[in-house]
A = this chain, B = another copy of it.
């Protein structure tokens, strides 16, 4: 049976209040700073579990680190992520979904999955850059 523990609550809680994608390491550090220290291994396990259930979305950033975020949209969707601050916008990509399906079929591929993520600088970070 799935038990409710302090650490699981803490991790879920933190993501609940984050609009940004966070890596396991970040979550670990943030919780530590906040005094709710949780073992690193536990953070990884919890995050993966949440992702498996669909509670959170996971994606691998350009640097190879996996990041997690609690999304409003439960259904399948993609993101436009700020590469500086991690803020993300959820995208409805019906058009792209259709395209991917068609393309795959045309080449005889089956069991197709796709990775479609956009990375850039959000309005805020762009402005900060320009000022610098």
Contact = CB atoms under 8 A, between A and B. Distances in A.
A77 to B, nearest CB: 12
Interface stretch (A6-14, A25-33, A37-45, A95-103): A95-103
A89 interface: yes
Interface string A104-132: 10011111111111111111001000000
A60 interface: yes
Interface residues of A, number: 33
Given A60-B64, A111-B126, A126-B111, A103 B119 contact: no
A121 B109 contact: yes
B123 A104 contact: no
Which secondary structure characterizes the binding site on chain A? strand
A61 to B, nearest CB: 9
Interface string A69-111: 0000000000010100000010101011001100110011111
Contacts of A109: 80, 82, 118, 120-123, 126
Interface of A: 60, 62, 64, 66, 80, 82, 89, 91, 93, 95-96, 99-100, 103-104, 107-123, 126
